[in-house]
Amino acid sequence: TAHAIVLVLDPRGRIVTLNPYAETLSGYALREVKGREWFEIFLPVRLRATVRALFHKALGGTPTRGNVDVLLTRDGRERLVEWYDTTLRDEAGAITGLLCVGQDVTERERAQKELLASEERFRLVFDSTTEGIMLTDAEKMRPILANHALCHMLGYTLEELTQVTVRDLHPPDALPEVESALARQFVGTRSYAE
What pLDDT, on a 0 to 100 scale, did the predictor assign at position 193? 39
For β-strands 134-136 and 65-72, DSSP reports them as unpaired
121-137, pLDDT tens digit by residue? 888 888 888 898 888 87
Under a CB-based contact definition with an 8 Å cutoff, are residues 104 and 9 in contact? no
Give me the pLDDT at residue 30, please. 97
What pLDDT, on a 0 to 100 scale, did the predictor assign at position 187? 65
**Beta bridge pairs of residue 134:** 146
CA distance linking residue 139 with residue 95, whole number of Å: 58
165: confidence class by pLDDT, cuts 50, 70, 90: confident
pTM of the model: 0.63
pLDDT at 23 over 90: yes
Please give the mean pLDDT across all residues of the chain: 88
**pLDDT of 13 higher than 80:** yes
Q: Is the dihedral of CA 115, 121, 127, 130 positive or negative?
A: negative
Between CA 118 and CA 107 the distance in angstroms is: 16
194 pLDDT band (50/70/90 cuts)? very low
The tens digit of pLDDT for each residue in 85-108 reads 999 999 999 999 999 999 999 988
Q: What is the pLDDT of residue 145?
A: 84
